[in-house]
Structure 1
């Protein structure tokens, strides 16, 4: 397995998490609680699988540099990457708290943490795909 193929798998897992999160959001808005719960479990499983693959990729292959010269595109990429990484770290305890509160049937407390966690998780999933696209598809074509 190459770094590129593992990165494509990771991007697919992020995209899948995004779709599952949107479905779970629709289910809870329609008060389809069981469908929401199962979809959130699937999103959690998909994101956890991504994390395992990402750490494996990092350990086996190391980091990948964009190779883009300084300028507005590189600045945008670095700011996007920074927000992605910081929010990925922030969301983890939020997701755990939301999961524990749902498990304990503390619905008001669950909703209080799950709402912001959802939007952060959604952002992190989407930006994960964008970062992949920029790093593996946009930037190689920009090299001289």
Structure 2
């Protein structure tokens, strides 16, 4: 079962600190690759999650960072908003007791993967020290659930 978790981040504050933040975010894999960053083998890239490796059940899927950075730098906006999507594969990960529930299309609000939320960090300590006046808002959602094909699929194909 694959579930797309997405996070919307809003950053606001003084212009000079926003510029520091934008320069920092441009170094992230979520910015550099836009889509499919998990397919790269470059070890120098860093992610907005503390740990993205072959054993993780979440993989960076896509972001609108490049587009949103360009819009913010061109315009006179006061709030920088961006979205990052992560694909979570529940079939290859041993879930905690709290996560064992039967998901369906109506469960998207319950399908937010807590381990991913705990690892996502749009404001690391080094940036927080440089930009103490930035305000960060984070909102998680899940909007895509795909079930593995079961017996119903086989019956429909016959």
TM-score above 0.5, yes or no: no
More helix per residue: 1
The alignment's TM-score, normalised by the length of structure 2, stands at 0.26
- Bigger RCO (CA 8 Å, 6+ sep): 2
TM-score when scaled to structure 1? 0.28
